[in-house]
Amino acid sequence: KAGVTQTPRYLIKTRGQQVTLSCSPISGHRSVSWYQQTPGQGLQFLFEYFSETQRNKGNFPGRFSGRQFSNSRSEMNVSTLELGDSALYLCASSLASGGYEQYFGPGTRLTVT
Amino acid sequence: GESVGLHLPTLSVQEGDNSIINCAYSNSASDYFIWYKQESGKGPQFIIDIRSNMDKRQGQRVTVLLNKTVKHLSLQIAATQPGDSAVYFCAEKGENFGNEKLTFGTGTRLTIIP
CB proximity list for A80: less than 8 A, separation 6 or greater: A16, A18, A63
Gyration radius of chain A over CA positions: 13
Beta bridge partners of B23: B73
pLDDT of residue A3: 94
Chain B residue numbers touching A35 (CB-CB < 8 A): 104
pLDDT of residue B96: 64
Residues 36 to 65 of A: which have CB under 8 A from any B CB? 42-45, 48, 55-56, 58
- Whether B3 has a pLDDT exceeding 50, the answer reads no
pLDDT of residue B26: 81
Give how far the C-alpha of residue B42 lies from the chain's centroid of Cα atoms, to the nearest Å.
17
pLDDT of residue B6: 38
Terminal C-alpha separation, chain B: 41
CB proximity list for B18: less than 8 A, separation 6 or greater: B76, B77, B78, B79, B80
d(CA A46, CA B79): 36
